[in-house]
Amino acid sequence: MKRYIILLLIISALGVVGCTKTFEDINKNPNAITASEASARYFITVPQFKLFAPDRYPYWRIHLIHCDRFAGHFLFGHNYSWWNDELGYSYNSAYTDAGWGFLAGYFGQLDNFLKLTAAGGEFENEYMYAVGLIMKGMYYQMYTDVFGEIPYSEAGDPDILLPKFDTQLDIYKGIIADLDAAMATIGNATRTGDGVADLGENDIYCGGDLQQWKRMANTLKLRIAMRAMGAPGNDFSADAISQALAAPLLSGPGDNILMEKDNIISQWTSAAYSDVWQNFGDAAGWTLGKELVDYMRDNNDPRLPKYAKPAKGGTFTFVRPASGSDYDLFPKRVDFIEQTLTDAGAVVTRVDDGDNVTLGIEGNKYYIGQPVRLNGFIRPLVRMEFFCTPADVIYAKKGTGQKIREELVMSSAEASFLKTEAIVRNLTGGNAQEEFAAGITSAMKLWNVADGAIATYLAEADLADITAGTTDEKLEKIAVQRWIAAYTDGFEAWAIVRKTGYPASLAAGVTDFDIYGPGDINGVYPERLRYGSSAYSQNGDNLNAAIGRQGADAMDTKLWFSKP
């Protein structure tokens, strides 16, 4: 497996830290780099892995505590967990500030690469600059979809210390303009240059393949334009969708953009799910969400054993509290746990004498998802052993040679699903079912599902069939398939739910607070994260102007793209 290498480049005029993709040369003398060997290629790898695999501090706080959990893919709140599953739904500045700090602070790393490769830059290269523009679009789409209005048009300007916050409408239009410029620059070119002018393996997304970058840029353009549909003041998405559909998109299993996980460098440089799980064990271990497991199990989705392990199972006795509301609600809560197991097809044994209830299920047999946002009062009954946990590849330990699941940058499946949606909405011509099947096939191939299993699913699963039904019913299936395929990319999966409203049971939020945690937003589905404390202390006037346009700095304030 190819791995990253940290290569310190001592270049007298720059003195910047670079990174390459293989660790075998980690001890190479940095002074051996001559002027003729110096290249911007050494400045792209760090911005790439820092965007999708930052250090453990933000990986833990914005990925797992917020995005992955709001997406309904990964959950806490079982009996071993230090936290109930209301964590993240109730504001905690320590966690939210980490997410803001990560995204707000990232741009400087990418901006360095853009300045180096821009016209007049130290390593001027129009093709490398085009790659940087595409990365900029990926970053800003992620950033704005988490918080809403953010500094964009004035960010990176050395003459502006306090950049204004731009509307999402303007940010989306700016991203598309950059993507169009990048694709026009690339044209028919395939490499950024020869020798040290070739990004090559230092480009850990596309290996220096400019046509792959172009297809990814066009797919990102389609994603953004489709997300903007119906948003107030949108005056660009119709043209952008038409343009994107007329140009090459990511297509087929070979076009997936995956970032190989480093298996050597410290989690404090580049983290993975494994770092959190392995450092804290069951105390920070997580389960899979009920909606995700239900959709996959009930449709015999062959990805389920690739995503998850069946419930460990076992028999456990729960003791009724001595008094108070927990005493009164004990029967309701035990019944809820039993019903959740039964609804998933498990055969449950129950022994009940009123004050002591014993529940048991056979081990390693059933795929059962944990309901989202369970409150702290029910947590003693939420045995981790009753629910699915992630497949080993999700949290394989670093440094052992075990395979660690790649980061999903962008998939060809998403391109097919977006095109399917466009066909169903009569935005373009084509066979919706064929495109839908192509998306499902690519999504399954991403997890090494066998051809026969894919064929069976396409032939038998109701969730794979949009040949009949209303437009809304078809759009629901497309959205759910996109959401399932976005597993391990909580940023995008969360955005899909907010934009489409599917899975509907997830987007509906929670109402029974005997069972669920309302958080700070009375049980409704979270629409964004609150701004970080540093935004108030460092750029308060511009931030308050943004809040005046966008709405209260609260998790239930809908963002521009998801407003009706």
Residues 72-106: pLDDT tens digits?
999 999 999 988 999 999 999 999 999 999 999 99
Q: Is 72 left (phi over 0), alpha (psi -120 to 50) or beta?
A: left
pTM: 0.94
Q: In whole numbers, what is the pLDDT of the chain averaged over residues?
A: 93
Q: What band does 15 get if pLDDT is binned at 50, 70 and 90?
A: very low
Residue 402 has a pLDDT of: 86
CA distances from 182 to 20, 211, 422 (A): 24, 11, 24
Name beta bridge partners: 370.
Answer: 289
CA distances from 249 to 257, 259, 526 (A): 12, 19, 31
CA distances from 457 to 5, 463, 469, 476 (A): 41, 9, 19, 18
Q: Which of 27-36, 309-318, 343-352, 482-491 has the lowest mean pLDDT?
A: 27-36
Whether 21 has a pLDDT exceeding 50, the answer reads no
Average pLDDT over residues 168-179: 98
Rounded CA separation 500/507 (Å):
9
Whether 342 has a pLDDT exceeding 60, the answer reads yes
Whether 31 has a pLDDT exceeding 60, the answer reads no
Q: What band does 564 get if pLDDT is binned at 50, 70 and 90?
A: low
Tens-place pLDDT, residues 365-396:
999 999 999 999 999 999 999 999 999 999 88
Among candidate residues 178, 135, 137, the one with its CA nearest the CA of residue 48: 135
H/E segment holding residue 339: helix 324-343
Average pLDDT over residues 455-478: 98
Residue 265 has a pLDDT of: 86
